[in-house]
Amino acid sequence: MFAKLIVNAEIDDAVLRQETALKLTTRQFRLTINLENRASIAMLKIPVNFAKHRHHPLTTKPTDSPYRQNHRPAVRVMPQRQARYVHDDFIAPDSGSFNYQLFEFAKARQQRMKVDVSRLNENPRATDTELLPHWRTILVPKKRIEALKSHEYHYCSPSIRMWNIGYGRSVENCNPYDVNPGAIDYERITRAPGKGPFDPVARGAYGNRNFKYLWAIDHRGMHIAREMTPCEFGSRGIITHSLLVDKAIVAGEIFFDIDDPYKVFVNFGSGRFPLRDVKEAEHTAEFLLALDYRTVIAMIPNRDLKQIPYGMGDRYGSNVESVVFRRDE
């Protein structure tokens, strides 16, 4: 009997030593992170109902997408969003329970952008980007454009080539806590071929970030949302491609010309849905022509993208190359 008690006592001592070591390791890890970032992460709770709707978009009226008339969709909450805490007294019960993705999301939120909405529409013609003379002009046959208006898809398929552009895929290069399309249902505007151009939109010079819209194409069409819209649900504090959609064919950025309502500037800068080949870019421009735009200026460089991938220098700067797409009447 006494031998059994001694064994139990030794087991209790071993468990206590392991728990103490784990607490010290966790506190040391937290202290190291705090010192590196010069700021501690105070109480942070991510509840199950973390995502909620804004009542109206940043633009002048609610989205007029034909898919969302008189409809208040249910909030889409990602399954990863569970109630978790990260605070000064946080002690993980075991080493495998520490949620590093949530921890990174929390750290990023400490540095999220603060947007002054009252100044967003100032200086629409200001830009530091200069476009080189178009190195190519493409006239797209009217028949090819009109054919897009008859396409119809039921889901973002990874095995069906949609809109002549490419195949669907899930968002990549992204923290799962930043994937939540339900958070911006009232900022998103959607158009499919034959449904006309986007309206209402803020118009500004290409390269002026305050007038930049993010876009993504999936089976329903092209979705856009103004990037500098304040958004508390993402780590950046503004809208990102992973808040716009969670599956798409390709994505990028778009600007709407100030003087010509039927002219747009589009690039293919998205780390979440990167450009796979130049054909995707060319067919995206044709898709925009099917939305009744007459001139599409696409930032497509004059080189093989397989050798040098599409990058920031292809989107902004002083020597940006582009291709003009127009309808061949």
Per-residue pLDDT reduced to its tens digit, 259-304? 999 999 999 999 999 999 999 999 999 999 999 999 999 999 999 9
Surface-to-core class of residue 42, CB atoms within 10 Å of its CB (0-12 exposed, 13-18 middle, 19+ buried): exposed
Mean pLDDT calculated for residue range 217-237: 96
Render pLDDT for 83-136 as a digit per residue (tens, 0 to 9).
Answer: 333 333 434 444 467 899 999 999 999 999 999 999 999 999 999 999 999 999
Place of tokens 């690039």: 267
- Same domain for 44 and 164? no
pLDDT of 226 over the 80 cut: yes
Highest averaged pLDDT of the listed ranges 18-32, 51-65, 232-246: 232-246
- What pLDDT score does 117 carry? 94
Average pLDDT taken over every residue of the chain: 82
- Same domain for 52 and 164? no
- Same domain for 267 and 223? yes
134: DSSP letter: P
- What pLDDT score does 55 carry? 44
Percent residues over pLDDT 70 in the chain = 71
- Same domain for 182 and 62? no
- Same domain for 34 and 137? no
Q: How many domains does the chain have?
A: 2
b/e map of 276-302 (b: 16 or more CB within 10 Å)?
A: bebebbbbbbbbbbbbebbbbbbbbbe
Task: Point out the domain boundary residue: 109, 141, 169.
Answer: 109
- Same domain for 122 and 216? yes
pLDDT of 228 over the 70 cut: yes
Domain that holds residue 13: 2-109
DSSP assignments along 232-290, one per residue: TTSSSSB--HHHH-SEESEEEEEEE-SS-TTEEEEE---SSS----HHHHHHHHHHHHT
Task: Point out the domain boundary residue: 74, 109, 144.
Answer: 109
- Same domain for 59 and 41? yes
